[in-house]
Amino acid sequence: MGTDSHTLVYGALNAAGTGIGGEEAAYVIAFGELWFQVPETVKITLKGSPRDYPIAKEITLTLAGRHGDDLAQHRAIEYAGSPVRELSLDSRMCLACHGVEIGAKFAFFPADDKALEYLRARTDVPFEGVEVDPDAEYVREIELDVDEVGFVVARPHRFGNVVPVEEAAGVKIDQALIGSCANGRFEHIETAARMLRGKKVHPRVRFFVEPASWTVYRQCLDAGIVGPLIEAGAQLQAPGCWVCEAHGSVLADGEVCVTSTTRNYRDRKGSRNAELYLGGPATVTAAAIAGEMIHPKEVFDGFQA
């Protein structure tokens, strides 16, 4: 449990994580326990094949667009299907983290070799993964073919206000952001660096990149992508959660931002009269290069249509 609504991210590691309030946290500290009602479960089965670039943001936005941003209200999500095993932990963390944006209390992934290897490198405390009961019952089952998932954006000011990026094409932007617990990991920042190779950030655009942690920052340094990002015109910020709110990246009246962070609610980044679009790292980077919303394939030929 944590006093952050995106504590659901632990579900990527097969653990039950959920956000709690300050009063609940005080109770936990005092008594070491907390009461929960066991939630019903929504099973989301992915089919098809993941791409060679991150599309977890597109998956969760597509789910919200098709089924509503309340599709798992106060319920648990279980991700299943063959593509789940192929997803990187970075992508699983994005999907688990965004469980709260579609109403979930928890969002679980299986304890496969990727998750176990990650955990064993970080703790010597004994643990066991959990598996789904063979007779498990679900309140709802949803299938999504990831082969059909394209680049999408959530328009202001709701997570579920999702359209193909082509429908937002031409909207001028003032700011672009990559970061947060949802999309501040190495594969997301590496995608931006790959797209920016030989290009520049549009002179009108402030492009902020914030690694989710010092570990991610070191990964970027070791991979040699920090220098090229800066040379292309991106601004790297200190690791953490600041990029989600109005810290160092404030929007003024009438400004437009496209961000891979967690939410696009009104007032999230400064002025109440600013507009926030949500998209994946590729969509954000493409807009930062073009100065407007644009399909990523228009600025980088390494993506499918």
Please check the confidence at residue 241 and state whether its pLDDT lies above 90: no
Q: Mapped to the 3 state alphabet, what secondary structure does 164-208 carry?
A: EHHHHCCCECCEEEEEHHHHCCHHHHHHHHHHHCCCCCCCCCEEE
DSSP-based three-state secondary structure for 128? coil
Average pLDDT over residues 252-256: 92
Average pLDDT over residues 263-291: 92
Mean pLDDT for all residues in the chain: 92
**pLDDT at res. 304:** 59
Please check the confidence at residue 175 and state whether its pLDDT lies above 90: yes
Please check the confidence at residue 247 and state whether its pLDDT lies above 80: no
| % of the chain at pLDDT higher than 70 | 98
Q: Kindly indicate the confidence band of residue 305, based on its pLDDT and cuts at 50, 70 and 90.
A: very low
DSSP-based three-state secondary structure for 27? helix
In this structure, of 34-43, 155-164, 226-235, 240-249, the range with the lowest mean pLDDT score is 240-249
What b/e string do you get for 277-302 counting C-beta neighbours within 10 Å, with b at 16 or more? bbbbbbbbbbbbbbbbbbbbbebbee
* CATH class of the region 152-298: alpha beta
**pLDDT at res. 96:** 96
Q: What ranges do the domains of the chain cover?
A: 5-148, 152-298
Please give the full DSSP string across 214-282, using - where no structure is assigned.
HHHHHHHHHHT-HHHHHHTT-EE--SSSGGGTTSS-PBPTT-EEEE-SS---TTTTB-TT-EEEE--HH
**pLDDT at res. 52:** 81
Helix, strand, coil content of the chain in percent (nearest 5) = 35, 15, 45
**pLDDT at res. 132:** 92
Average pLDDT over residues 228-256: 86
| pTM for this predicted structure | 0.93
Average pLDDT over residues 73-102: 94
What does the alpha-carbon distance between residue 77 and residue 151 come to, in Å, rounded to a whole number? 23
Q: Kindly indicate the confidence band of residue 246, based on its pLDDT and cuts at 50, 70 and 90.
A: low
**What topology is assigned to 5-148 in CATH?**
Aconitase; domain 3 (3.30.499)
**pLDDT at res. 211:** 94
In this structure, of 229-238, 245-254, 277-286, the range with the lowest mean pLDDT score is 245-254
Average pLDDT over residues 114-141: 92
Average pLDDT over residues 37-63: 93
Q: Kindly indicate the confidence band of residue 268, based on its pLDDT and cuts at 50, 70 and 90.
A: confident
**Higher pLDDT pick, 6 / 52:** 6
Please check the confidence at residue 25 and state whether its pLDDT lies above 80: yes
